[in-house]
Amino acid sequence: MSTVTATDRTEVSQQRSALSRASHFLTLPAVGPLFALLLACVYFSVRTDRFLTGANLSLVVQQVMVVGALAVGQTIVILTAGIDLSNGAVMALGSIFMTKLAVHSGMPGIGAILIGIAVCTAFGALNGTLVTMAKLPPFIVTLGTWNIAFALTHVYSNEQTITGLPTSLTFLGRTFPLGNTDVTYGSVLMLLLFAVAWYVLRQTAAGRHVYAVGDNREAARLTGIPDRRLLLTVYTVAGVIYGIAALLLIGRTSVGDPQAGQTDNLDSITAVVLGGVSLFGGRGSIIGALCGALIVGVIRNGLQLTGVPSIYQVLITGILVILAVSVDQLARRRRT
């Protein structure tokens, strides 16, 4: 008798935990964007049989790798309730440093890369210092550094595109075979950036603190989290990531182009927002941001394959951004 009840109880509790796990999964912030991404993939697979091929999917990832990498930095900044308008311009400046030092000054590739990353890191640290020490709004700070980085890029490059790069700079554009598909090393590096960011945000105390500071900075400070040091670190790490994005950019284009990355700041924000990360901070998932970047890439690619003029991709992206932010706002209103 008693054993029967005991088994019943375990079964019930098992059912309940499976159910609660399922309902927990549905509340995960990346589920919506993931669903939208799958929907877009299914739609284009039905419309054209050229979409769902290894080569094409590899191309999609390749096309989003630069904006995707920038979106990693953008996500951690936005999670702290900040924003970074400077990332595209900072990346461009970093790529000009890398290419010009390597080609015009004959510096070894690795040295040029490190200096380029250092320049991007310095800009990140400058953003972080102005936000935390001078207590200026991130929007204004990064609007300023965006223009500064943009101007420096054009001054330093003399408006010249730098060509004839050594392979020590362009290796991320090379491919390796995966099954029947050629995959670029850059695509793998971008996915690796997302994986590391996911781990830090989800599995370490530092990551939890990023969320807490973005969610309720005062409460975070009262629990002893060094909020200013954390913000400074976030902006600086974002700078490092923009440096890596600069290397990805070089791998993708094989030149040092001062005109590169001009709308990438907004594109990275688009990816983050489509990924369900709240612009008010403290909510969202880095995996969502990856989905967001891929959604833009898939729609662009799918429309091209189905012969729709590419300007419609911009139109659709605009509608999706407004939809995504509306969902976030609605959810916020329901919560309060």
Report if residue 154 touches other proteins, rule: CB under 8 A: no
DSSP H helices, the chain, are 2-27, 31-47, 54-79, 87-103, 109-132, 138-157, 167-170, 185-203, 205-215, 217-222, 227-253, 264-274, 286-305, 311-335
| Binding test (CB under 8 A) with other proteins, winner from 31, 122, 206, 308 | 206
| Binding test (CB under 8 A) with other proteins, winner from 71, 225, 291, 298 | 225
Nearer residue to other proteins within complex by CB, 310 or 336: 336
Nearer residue to other proteins within complex by CB, 49 or 218: 218
DSSP H helices, 80-171, are 87-103, 109-132, 138-157, 167-170
Q: Which stretch binds other proteins (CB under 8 A): 32-40, 203-211, 263-271, 322-330?
A: 203-211
Report if residue 288 touches other proteins, rule: CB under 8 A: no
| Binding test (CB under 8 A) with other proteins, winner from 3, 5, 180, 223 | 223
Nearer residue to other proteins within complex by CB, 61 or 201: 201
Q: Provide the 8-state DSSP code for 240.
A: H
Report if residue 286 touches other proteins, rule: CB under 8 A: no
CA 119, distance to chain mean position in Å, is 20
Report if residue 215 touches other proteins, rule: CB under 8 A: yes
Token couple for 155: 């001054």
Report if residue 322 touches other proteins, rule: CB under 8 A: no
Spatial distance between the Cα atoms of 59 and 46, rounded to a whole number of angstroms: 19
| Binding test (CB under 8 A) with other proteins, winner from 209, 233, 298, 317 | 209
Q: Say how many residues touch other proteins, by CB under 8 A.
A: 23
Q: Which stretch binds other proteins (CB under 8 A): 5-13, 37-45, 220-228, 304-312?
A: 220-228
Report if residue 335 touches other proteins, rule: CB under 8 A: yes
For the stretch 171-176, contacts whose Cβ atoms lie closer than 8 Å and that sit 24 or more positions apart, written own/partner, are 171/251, 172/247, 172/248, 172/250, 172/251, 172/252, 173/250, 173/251, 173/252, 173/254, 174/251
Q: Do residues 185 and 251 lie in contact, with contact meaning Cβ atoms separated by under 8 Å? A: yes
| Binding test (CB under 8 A) with other proteins, winner from 13, 53, 167, 204 | 204
Report if residue 306 touches other proteins, rule: CB under 8 A: no
Give the phi and the psi of residue 162 in degrees, each rounded to 5.
Answer: -95, 120
Q: Provide the 8-state DSSP code for 181.
A: E
Report if residue 279 touches other proteins, rule: CB under 8 A: no
Report if residue 20 touches other proteins, rule: CB under 8 A: yes
* Touching other proteins, residues 233-272 (CB under 8 A): none
Distance in Å, CB of 222 to other proteins, minimum: 5
Report if residue 216 touches other proteins, rule: CB under 8 A: yes
Spatial distance between the Cα atoms of 154 and 151, rounded to a whole number of angstroms: 5
| Binding test (CB under 8 A) with other proteins, winner from 212, 250, 277, 287 | 212
Token couple for 114: 């490190």
Q: Do residues 264 and 88 lie in contact, with contact meaning Cβ atoms separated by under 8 Å? A: yes
Report if residue 208 touches other proteins, rule: CB under 8 A: yes
| Binding test (CB under 8 A) with other proteins, winner from 52, 133, 195, 219 | 219
* Touching other proteins, residues 21-50 (CB under 8 A): 24
Give the number of other Cβ atoms within 10 Å of residue 125's Cβ: 18
Chain positions contacting other proteins, by CB under 8 A: 20, 24, 203-206, 208-209, 211-212, 215-216, 218-220, 222-225, 282-283, 335-336
